[in-house]
Structure 1
Amino acid sequence: MNTAQYLLSTGEDHRPVFVDGDRTYSYAELRGAVAKAGTQLEELELPLGAAVALAAPNSFFWIAAYLAIIAAGLVCVPMPSVLAPDEFRARLRFAGCRAVLFGGSEARRIGPLADVAVLDNTILDDTSRGDDRGGGPEIREVDDDEDAAYLFTSGTTAAPRVVRITHRNIRANTESILGYAGIAGDDRMLVVLPFSYVFGASLLHTHLRAGACLVNQPSFVYLESVVERLAAQCCTAIAGVPSNFHALMRNSSFGTRELPDLRTVQQAGGRMSPAIVDEIRAAHPGARLLVMYGQTEATARLSYLPPEDLDAHAGSIGRGIPGVTLRVVDEQGADVAPGGVGEIWATGENISPGYLFDEQRTAEKMPGGTLRTGDLATIDADGYIYVVDRAEDFIKSWGIRIASQDVESAVMVLPEVISVAAVGVPHSVAGEAVAVAVVMRPDSDLDAARLIAHCRTRLPKHMVPEFVAFVEQLPLNSSGKVVKREVRDRLRDLAEDRSVPA
């Protein structure tokens, strides 16, 4: 089944699908817009399976264009709207895109650099094409294992790669998420994550399939506007990565504002500080907090921790979602004993068939359809998994492997801290020393000495940061995830200067 048909078959015509500013769009309008965009795509006479880039901020246009590309039997290549022109052009060529659909200011900013067919959001303005009252699009039949999208990885630890996502992958992962997340037709999800990011895309997929509504929050810069939007739009849910919730809890009224309509908080994209987990639960006891884990190569989701298990299995990413089998294995591929450390391997119909134009990396990362996540974890006797760290993010000091996330969790206990990133920097004797970059509340008087003293009460000596840098913000990618390699580069320079030793 074509993914566009799968996603458009549930929502009732009169129901809201997307709220942008003061404008509410219905499912009927969405079907009409997809038909309009599809007509324009047909005129390009692209072969089935051709790649078409989509560059736009979250918008009604983005949703309609995404579905139109897939409905036409083409492959959608979402591009972050924040890319520099040269990087955009490089990605366009790498993915072999034959056309690009632009929204917002992207057509003016980047369009002239694209050496392929270009369409912009005016394709939805032509009243002679399609029917705003719900005339559905023409949808091409495709094989379940044909590619529906090419998604770039987040690139937080290495250069981004292009992941092939099939129609089967999307349907399998969407059905699994709907099986545990309890998304209903009357849900209103506040969207702060870009649809070009796999977590944002999964929110789009699940809420369209449920016939629910997505409420756009175009900026996360002004945190109070996020809280106001939640309240004013009677949103029932919000989803984000740890940096989103760290900022909301420590630098806005999200932790004190009553939000009676809020019933679900979804978190993925990295391990969130236990202190922030506790603060969210205390601030919004009527909301279910879903702690989840996934990767782009898994079409989004691999595991979740049910809210009722948050106390008994604090810090866990839970167990595999329906249809996904997770194992924690040693270097020989054997299951580790409870408490042992190994790599998370995953199997299921949501696992990508591989990377575009990279058979070697596909064979290394997904041999035989098993996703080797690169995340090191432990597993308990009940099968609950606890991520220790990304293999690339371990700090090796005095011959001991230190999980950067353990250091970060200790620092986040301090209420003055909004966010933190811990990395290893070169040390002439220890090999690497622990260094942290810290974002504080604007009114905080926290200094390095007090932060280090705090860490000494919560961490073994070899894990206590030796270098501290207070920064205005951490480097984030377009998905809001911390780019550790940039933090590492910056703190390496500081450590060499010995300008901020603990």
Structure 2
Amino acid sequence: MNIGGYLAQNARKFANKLAIECEGRTYTYQQFNEEVNRLAHGLLELGVKKGEKVALMMKNSDHFVFTFFAAAKIGAVVVPVNFRLTSLEVHYILQQSHTKVVFCDTEFEQTMDAAKKDTEVKQVIIIGQPQSAENRPYNEIRTEKTSDPEINVLDTDDLEILYTSGTTGRPKGALFDHERIFKVGLTMMISMGIGTKERFLHIAPLFHSAQLNLFLISGVVLGATHIIHRDFHPVKTLQAIQEHKITHFFGVPAMFNFMLQVPNAGDYDLSSIVRCGYGAAPMPPELVKKSMALFKTDQFYNLCGLTEAGPGGILLDPEGHKNHLGKGGKAAFLTEARVVNEEGQDIQPGSVGEFILQGESIMKEYYEKPEETKKTLKNGWLYTGDLATIDEEGYITLVDRKKDMIISGGENVYSIEVEEILYEHPQVLEAAIIGLPDEVWGEAVCAVVVPKEGQTIDEDELKAFCRQKLAGYKVPRKIFIEAQLPRNASGKILKYQLRQKLNEVKA
């Protein structure tokens, strides 16, 4: 069955059950399905054909969800767009994906108008009142037709093009069909024990594959309830968990960190939480422990995957957290994971190799990029570009991206190991390790740290703290104090921006 078909099925099974609440607007599963169908017929009347691309440049909202499922029901291919991108970056995605129709929030209309020039975009639809006469309002596209569109959508038809985070260079579009995305959701249902009675809080951006595929789509397939927040705010997040009795919470590490900084965070009733998931970026063990204390549960899951896998990869379950905190975990359901050397052979425990994956949720290809696809998908395996270790029990730990590994004085330094130590320091809020050119050592290990509010970091004291826990060559030679770290929408620190900025400072 296609993804839209599960919504139609649940509209019959759970007609009066609360499906979505967003900014005071509520919808039962029957109303959810009817809203989607109204929009699906509107897309057909616009001339959108099966296989054509529909881009979404929107913050989290009920409209985002309706648009996604409307496109899915008519066999269109959804292209979620990071709303933080510039018009030049958006232009590349629209052009490369051959997008025909765009939905975007009013606040991004000017960006989209600039981005759509010299592309195949025929229509921009605005959530709200358009500023440009060329664009049409969302409500004008909705029809009165609430029946399911009569389009034969197969599970082998394409559903999404997910553009990679683009931490370096131009992003590539990972192509997925309905079956692959269903398998992504199925993996979460089995691996995390997600069920029909879940109450999800969606605060991580829905344009990102983790929140969209792991939890929104799996939750709709199950018939769960979805509380949607447009933006992340730590206090409002804690309030929502308390008010809506959220059972399942997923966030990037920075979100957990910000919630822990709320002075009265411990006063909120978070007892409804059954489990917490974290991912998209490494989460230091100290931060995991503090988050467990805040939520008063040890039911934490480390989801360590990548966009090209749906996202999917390895998972550290609550049992694994007891003895293997800080590790990535083992292969998730329907997935195989290995760590290999340059010849593609499995490494021995204690060595470092490349993390590779095989499974039923792996992308079909990079859209219209055969050479890049060939380099990444080899002999049925997805080569991730992540460096990792594997222990005697088969637990895999990611240690760095290949491009982020630092070679200082001939020694390999993996940034995550040093960052975890920095996070143990009581005055450090956030930290990133990068390598900068050094005449003596080739590369110097450098730390960029953000102090907690009201705290001052003494550089010499922080270096001394690191020396107690790290070999001398791993201790940061230089420490830079910043007010914040640059991140992409999935929470990953943009280390190339830090390297560029600090190299300019040195120059």
TM-score band, normalised by the shorter chain? over 0.9
User: Equivalent residue for 2:143?
Assistant: 129
Is 1:28 the counterpart of 2:30? The answer is: yes
The code of the aligned residue for 1:3 comes to I
The corresponding residue for 2:325 is 314
Counterpart of 1:3?
Answer: 3
Q: Which residue of 1 aligns with 2:202?
A: 191
Question: Hey, what's the Cα distance between the residues in 1 that align with 2:459 and 2:235?
Answer: 29
Cα deviation, 1:383-440, whole Å, max 9, x if unaligned, reads 2111111111111101111110111101000122221111000100101111111111
Q: 2:231 maps to what in 1?
A: 219
| Residue 116, structure 1, aligned to residue 122, structure 2 | yes
Q: Describe how 1:201-240 pairs up with structure 2 within 5 A.
A: 201-202=212-213, 203-220=215-232, 222-240=233-251
Q: Give me the whole-angstrom Cα distance separating, in 2, the residues matched to 1:86 and 1:127.
A: 27
> Does the Cα contact within 8 Å between 2:87 and 2:114 map onto a contact in 1?
no
Aligned equivalent of 1:168: 179
- Secondary structure of 1:312's counterpart equals helix
Mapped to 2, the partners of 1:18 and 1:355 lie a distance apart of 33
Kindly provide the amino acid, as one letter, of the partner of residue 67 in structure 1. Answer: F
For the pair 1:472 / 2:478, whether they are aligned, the reply is no
Provide closer, same or farther for how the CA distance between residues 481 and 7 of structure 1 changes in structure 2, counting only shifts above 3 A.
farther
SS in 2 for 1:475: coil
Match of 2:15 in 1: 13
* Distance change >3 Å, CA 128–CA 384, structure 1 → 2: closer
1-side partners of 2:405 and 2:266: how far apart?
Answer: 32
Shift of 1:80: 1.6
Distance 1:18 1:53 in 2: 22
2-side partners of 1:58 and 1:476: how far apart? Answer: 18
Shift of 1:128: 7.8
Q: 1:95 Cα shift?
A: 1.1
Deviates further, 312-321 or 84-93: 84-93
Helix, strand or coil at the partner of 1:88: helix
Q: Distance in 2 between matches of 1:489 and 1:126?
A: 46
Match of 1:490 among 463, 485, 501: 501
> Where do residues 59-78 of structure 1 align in structure 2 (5 Å cutoff)?
59-78=61-80
Q: Provide the rounded CA distance (Å) in 1 between the counterparts of 2:38 and 2:7.
A: 17
Judged with a 3 Å threshold, the aligned counterparts in structure 2 of structure 1 residues 34 and 295 are, in CA distance, closer, same or farther, namely same
What is the SS of the residue equivalent to 1:43?
helix
Tell me which residue corresponds to 2:372: 361
Residue 257 of structure 1: CA displacement?
4.0
Residue number in structure 1 paired with 2:292 = 281
Return the alpha-carbon distance in structure 1 between the equivalents of residues 463 and 259 of structure 2.
25
Q: Using the alignment, how far apart are the partners of 2:198 and 2:404 within structure 1?
A: 37
Q: Which residue of 1 aligns with 2:134?
A: none
Shift of 1:241: 1.6
CA deviation digits over 1:171-197, x for unaligned, max 9?
111111101212222222222211111
Residue 458 (str. 1) matches residue 469 (str. 2): yes
8 Å Cα contact 1:243-1:481 kept in structure 2: no
**Shift of residue 8 of structure 1?**
4.5
Q: 2:274 aligns with which of 254, 263, 284?
A: 263
Between 1:85-94 and 1:192-201, the stretch displaced more is 85-94
Q: 1:104 to 1:185 in 2, by over 3 A?
A: farther
After TM superposition, the structure 1 = structure 2 runs for residues 398-417 of structure 1, keeping only pairs within 5 Å, are: 398-417=409-428
Residue number in structure 2 paired with 1:51? 53
Q: Secondary structure at the match of 2:85?
A: coil
CA distance in 2, matches of 1:55, 1:278: 36
**Which residue of structure 1 aligns with residue 96 of structure 2?**
94
Structure 1 runs, 4 residues or longer, greater than 6 Å off = none
SS in 2 for 1:247: helix
Q: Deviations over 1:349-396 (max 9, x none)?
A: 100011011100100001243111111111122221111111111111
Distance 2:142 2:305 in 1: 42
Distance 1:226 1:17, change over 3 A: same
| Pair 1:396-2:407 in alignment | yes
Secondary structure of residue in 2 paired with 1:259: coil
Give the paired residue count. Answer: 492
Alignment counterpart, residue 293 of structure 1, candidates 296, 304, 329: 304
Cα deviation, 1:433-481, whole Å, max 9, x if unaligned, reads 1111111111112221221121111111111111111111110112222
| Structure 1 residues not aligned, in runs of 5+ | 498-502
Instruction: For CA contacts below 8 A with separation 6 or more, give which structure has more relative contact order.
Output: 1
- Deviation track 1:287-339 (CA, whole Å, cap 9, x = no partner) reads 51111111110011222111012122222221111111111111111111222
Runs of 5+ unmatched residues, structure 2: 129-136
Q: TM-score, normalised by structure 2?
A: 0.92
| Distance in 2 separating the partners of 1:42 and 1:21 | 28
Task: Tell me the residue number matched to 2:450.
Answer: 439
Counterpart code for 1:10: N
CA contact (8 A) 1:434 1:466 kept: yes
CA RMSD, Structure 1 to Structure 2 (Å): 2.1
**In 1, Cα distance between equivalents of 2:398 and 2:87:** 36
Tell me if structure 2 keeps the 8 A contact 1:375–1:387: yes
| Cα pair 2:74 2:153 within 8 Å, conserved | no
8 Å CA contact 1:250–1:417 kept in 2: the answer is no
Partner secondary structure for residue 110 of structure 1: helix
| Distance in structure 2 (CA, Å) of the matches to 1:126 and 1:117 | 13
Instruction: State the distance in 2 between where 1:412 and 1:8 align.
Output: 47
Quote the residue 2:314 is aligned against. 303
- 1:337 corresponds in structure 2 to 348
C-alpha deviation, 1:136, in angstroms: 4.6
Aligned to 1:79: 81
The 1:7/1:291 distance shift into structure 2, 3 A limit, reads farther
> Residue 324 of structure 1 aligns to which amino acid in structure 2?
T
Cα distance, 1:112 vs structure 2: 6.7
